Amino acid sequence: MLPFLPEQPIRFPPTHQALSEPNGLLAAGGALTSEWLLAAYRRGIFPWYSPGEPILWWSPDPRCVLPVDQVHISRSLRKTMKKPHWSVRFDTAFAQVIRLCAQTPRRGQDGTWIDQAMVEAYSALHQMGYAHSVEVFWHDELVGGLYGVQIGRMFFGESMFSLRPDASKIALVHLCHQLQQWGFEFIDCQVETAHLRRMGAVLLSRHEFEHALQRLLHVPFAQQKWTDGQNSSLNACF
């Protein structure tokens, strides 16, 4: 039976108790407060549910991760990135990014799992310096981006969007480049997709992932917004 968590105390079951199908479902209930979310990420657990459902918490095995030094840039993507008028920024439009992640239609998906409670919860983490956005602009128009959570030197990717071809890929490549410079090793992508495989993502067992997670969480890195000195044109980095 799936455990149902009360709002207090904050206590998750051991991750090895997660159901193998579907995708490592661990528990339901709890709350979407900053305290719950940070406690979850520190254990390799994340929330994912549809509107009208209770909060569902997940710990997949295997785990999909993208090594930041192995991100694959196809020839067509590299060609796109060399065009003028692209620019990439960090943490200058978090509210817009998360809402566009919620609103932008995706092939094969009906609706969104990013409801208002999710928007408010991750916006609170952003104000605390834990949640960050990557924003891709064409001229001065926001056309793509992603957001996620950073603790120590670990980045947990949450969602991305594109309003122009390849815009979310550009955000992901630029994030990998910046995280590599900062000494991060990989981005947690949670669940494998064909798109992530093409970008260079690999699978780790839950044991391997959690071992790396605990090591990276304790490597110091400031919890603050990433705006200062991190905005650049794309051609400056690639």
- Rama region for 91: left / alpha / beta (φ>0; ψ in -120 to 50; rest): left
Beta pairing partners, 157: 148
- Comparing 177 with 227, the larger pLDDT belongs to 177
**Most confident by average pLDDT, 23-27, 49-53, 106-110:** 23-27
141-151 and 154-162 strand pairing: antiparallel
| Euclidean distance between CA atoms 173 and 213, whole angstroms | 21
Beta pairing partners, 46: 58
Give me 177's structure tokens.
Answer: 């480049």
Q: Verify cis geometry, omega within 30 degrees of 0, for the bond prior to 62.
A: yes
- Spatial neighbors of 110 by CB under 8 A, at least 6 apart, are none
Give me 9's structure tokens.
Answer: 């105390």
Mean pLDDT value of segment 130-137: 98
Within 10 A of 69 (CB to CB), how many other CB atoms are there? 13
> 190: closest CA among 25, 30, 80?
25
The answer on pLDDT for 103 being more than 90 is yes
The answer on pLDDT for 107 being more than 80 is no
Helix, strand, coil percentages (3-state) for the chain, rounded to 5, are 30, 25, 45
Question: Of 102-111, 190-199, 221-230, which gets the smallest average pLDDT?
Answer: 102-111
The answer on pLDDT for 229 being more than 50 is no
| Euclidean distance between CA atoms 95 and 120, whole angstroms | 9
At 9 the pLDDT is 97
Side chain identity at residue 237, one-letter code? C
Asked whether 133 and 98 are in contact (CB, 8 A), the reply is yes
Residues of the chain with CATH 3.30.70.3550: 4-61
The answer on pLDDT for 113 being more than 90 is no
The class of domain 64-236 in CATH terms is: alpha beta
| Euclidean distance between CA atoms 95 and 122, whole angstroms | 9
So what's the architecture of 4-61 in CATH? 2-Layer Sandwich (3.30)
The answer to whether the pTM exceeds 0.85 is yes
Residues of the chain with CATH 3.40.630.70: 64-236
> 27: closest CA among 59, 51, 3?
3
